[in-house]
Structure 1
Amino acid sequence: MPAAHDPAAITADGETLRQDVSAIERSQSLSRLSGTAPGVAPGYDIVRCLGEGSFGSVWLATETRTGRQVAIKFYTHQHGLDWSLLSREVEKLAVLYTSRNIVGLLDVGWDRDPPYFVMEYLEQGPLSRRLAAGALPAAEAVRIARDMLSALVHAHNSGILHCDLKPANILIDSGGATRLGDFGQSRLSTEQTPALGTLYYMAPEQAVLDGVPDARWDVYALGALLYHMLTGVPPYRTPENEQRLQAANSLEERLATYRRILSESPQPGAHRRRPGVDSRLADLVDSCLQRDPLKRLSNAQVALDLLEERDNVLAKRPLIALGIIGPLLFLATLVAVAARAIPKAEKAAESSLLDRALATDLLTVDILAKSVQQEFDIRQKELEDITDRLIKSVDGKSHLRDDLKDFLGGWTRTVSERLKSQQRTEDDSIFVVDASGLQVYRTPHDETVGQNFAYRDYFHGLGRELPPGQASEVRPRKTSGISLAYRSQSSKEYKVSVAVPIWNTQRTEVLGVIARSIPLSDLLTQWESSIAKTASNSRDRFLALVDMRESPAYLLDHPWMTEQESRDLEDEKLKERLVLSQEQREAVEKLIPSSRYDDPIARTDERYAGPWLAAFAPVGKTGWYAIVQERRSSAVGPVQNLRQVFVQYGAGALVAMTAVFALLGTLLWRASR
């Protein structure tokens, strides 16, 4: 804080001082030397002096490693320097480094003699240099004011008040963008320490030695800055007022004189006569320059909002002319524009809907595939956990236990109850075959008990079904897995079995196979209901499974396969209709969602004719692929509805708009008079 009786603590020419008079003289004498920098900044090559002030000097330098130009601010006199000034400015710049409207802090030399900090170099220098040539165009002044308000909003939201906004503290880069700098006088919003700013930019309640920092100080300074940019001089600055201030003998007297000047002078009005200054902009300046802080805008955000509101109002002014001329032009071109725009809009909307639908289908099919694989893994693990309990050892020899029916009966009931409670698909059957392929147990019991199924893939795991009479030498599988799909002779549905070998105690011989069969259509039921809910018709969106292990690939599950027509077909005839073409197989294998997928069943049933949206995902290592299909016409249905709305209401809207525009044109014409 400046000394209480230091007459040079604050000047009328726009410089805020922080040293006593002797320190200023020493600084100025040093600056007149041979152009040598007052200190060394490791990693930087000093180029030339950019400016000097009461704190010391600012020098242009080049970063040694990158060649980037920077500005280095040296605090020249440690003995006369208020060290809080350096720390305060560095602290605030570090907090505000994310703002594009505030000078960026790059480096600090706390322990150097003299101390310094490094900031980004802005090539066009301070705004005060531009204003020395006179006022700025209103549009440019508003742009700079908006940048400064954005900087102040960022600072205030970070709990920092600048307290010394003025043209000398606003720097311009090579592209004309402005940055707010010099936070040496800044205060935290919670601080009670006074901070003197610069005459003609300082609010009257700030021009005291015991003022409490307030966001409205920065609002006043913003108004003074904007007034200066619009008129070429800051508010209240006249030769007479300059003489009054220079005649003051102490800081207290100077501040009191400044307050009297503000209270006795009429409200500045030169800005209202400048080209490009509308009433809203002039009112904004006046609201910022209110001498009574209670009548002044409360913070920078309010001022920024008013500036944005002004922009919106100015943007609407051409609508007055358009309201008169526009209806005629609009009505003349409406049909031509609609003829070109509506199809494009429909195409864009359709493309967007297709992308969203395919993304949803892809996510759904991925979840489905993982869920199916998880379901099989769980069922397989449950079988593996009980295989050791299915054997009995006598005299070192193992065989299937005699009470297999009782033991598995209880286990099966427990599993069934758990599946029901979890709303999961129940097993169609659980059965055991011995090492020769003879079925020795099945629940529910039927006539297949006692038959030989050594030809089934679930028994031998060879990846194919063998002719029933040629499987006498086949041995049981040695690894757990999922069988090939096979068609049930009773239900005519495709099933798979999760099969697990039953080893002897020494694990040297497979004594049999335990398996649990599941109809594929039943397996997918627990997910199909949620898939179908998103479609108006169950045939518009559904799940399917494809077995890619065989060539050609064929469908394992499809809604058509639950219909009577498919049940009446013999195995070979049915499989012919389930086969995928080579093109369809390639589409599935690529795993790329398709917006024009052809359903293989369309060859048999025209209800499944495409095109379809389809997404694909492999089901673990089973060799199966899950498909989520969605009818393309259903996915883009909203676009078709939109087209109907255009046709139905287009004529009526044209008539209504003609009447509205005619009325609007009349009203605007009368208002313009």
Structure 2
Amino acid sequence: MPDAIDVSATPSDLTLVQDEQQRTKSRELSRAPFEAPPAIPGYDLLHRLGEGSFGAVWLAREKRTGKQVAIKFYTRGQGVDWSLLSREVEKLAVLYTSRNIVGLLDVGWDHEPPYFVMEYLENGSLASRLKEGPLSASHAVRITRSVAEALVHAHGAGILHCDLKPANVLIDGNMDARLGDFGQSRLVTEMSPALGTLYFMAPEQARLDGIPDARWDVYALGALLFHMLTGAPPFRTPEAEAKLAQARTIEERLVVYQQVLEASPAPTAHRTQSGVDWRLADIVDRCLERDPQKRVANAQIVLDMLEARDNARAKRPLMVVGALGPVLFLVALYWIASTVGPRIVRTAEHELLQQALAGDAVSARILASSIETEVRIRQDELVDTADWTYVRQMIRDSHQRTKDELSQLNKGNFPDAELQLAFDKVTNHIKVLEQRLAQADRTLDESWFICDAQGRQIYRFPDAGKSLSESFHWRDYFHGRGEELDESVPHDKVSPRTKTGVSLAYLSTSSSKYKVSFATPVWDEDQKTVLGVMARGVHITDLLDQWEPQIGKEGRPDDRFLSLLETRGNRPHLLDHLRIEEALKRVGTQERGEVILRVSPAVEKALETTDRLEDYRDPIAQLDPKFDGPWLAAFYPVGNTGWTAVVQERRNLTLEPLGQMQGVLTRGALSAFLVFSVLLGVLWYFLHRASL
């Protein structure tokens, strides 16, 4: 059931979804009383269940079947972006097969006001139930499992909920939990932030520029379990409430909220509740890790941990049997050590690797989407600029000029005012675009340049240099064939590209770095003849700098990082890597290129069938032994660029906890063997004495 039903929520419970202007408008709208909405064909409205900023929820009866349903009317939709209103319907429609998610029955967007029909769950929201006090541990675990299963289903469909809280968890007639209200949800490929509810938001979610992550929902799941066990969400204190009440804007509340989480000690109230064992407490603690790198990676792992807890509780009677039968214990210990032990280790190793790869795969998808968006923006700006009349004029006028004449033009010496105006307009426009990149902390272009229809460079900004008037007809950015031609190919055998695209990477003659160019044809006014090619080049390593800090582990950047593969042409090869520049410096200029940095045949084959590898071999290891050995790697293609984003992390470090656990278990097993051997000897001694 939506937020509107939980009318008793305090201000700190409200989901942060509006800026100050939107909140003011919502407050004005909320002062008006709700009127009964117009009749809906096929339904009889019974009474209103609740109301909120966007509308009201009514209980209704379906005329044909007599079944009761809940209808959400967007009676105040004029105050909000319609994309926000339709988001919940879209996500519920995708997730209709899940028995743990509120079912969508009907939609009426053409109705005034718009509405959608969903299942009516007579026991209301979990928030209403928690007003009576905390739940028992068994009841809380049951609800947590249902919500986790709903999140697994949603995440599997590529949907992040982003606003999990008691008001959005509903209880059906069988006292089973259902997850609802997907109004704040995001697709895993979306980069737009989503503000959840205070005390249920992960610290990294409480930002206006946060990148949606599956671990947001995991944190909220832990906060939900903590609330059910203790009767209040974590970190919520009178002092925190007072600080939040003093904040005037959403931005200020978010900053205060982050400070509260950072300054507060880890919550412990759940550990003292009846029925909470250390395994359940550990699940809460791992979900509420403020560092997302230490937090449980996804909801499936939470289900696995709950399942492991159930298995452990089921084995308690065996502990008693072991205490009464030391002989059986020693036999079982030997059997476990020789047969079951290795299987457990293999299973644990597999689970650890899969958990790490799952997190890497989510990161790779998000990063690929970010890079694709950056490429699309740069290409759109380039296409708009190339369509200028001034660019056509520059190409036509410069076509027959000598290198010296072109140099004079690029230095600002023009034969007439009309040509000077064209050069100044284009140059000033490029400067404005570069200033926007700098203001947004985005990577600047290395250069902008224009070639005529024969591939001769007639304009370059900044610093024309020696490349001016040289022919680059053989470059992929000029002809767009997906290959670099021999420089000796005659000009009349090569035509300029006719489509916008990203060139193959090449070593820049000016910087000896890998560089790519976003290139587009410049058409005549009738769109029939290509006059030339306009391009903007960027060092690929610089382009990715803005995302690399989000991937690395704090204090250990070499253990997990982002790299980039070029998959066009021959065998896929490395474009960017944490240490690519240092690696290229170790070889001569003539030897640099994709041949040295190609992926192995095994990796190339795997890229065709999977998006992750447990045994990835880093191409940089050919030049730097520090990167030798197996890596975990997740791959995701970057749109239509021909690039593949790779998130890789060291395999052995991922398995470190398992090695430590094995050491502890081995020492514990030896100690137990010795202790129980002594106990068995004592038992046998007394049995022998009693038999005399």
TM-score using structure 1 length: 0.47
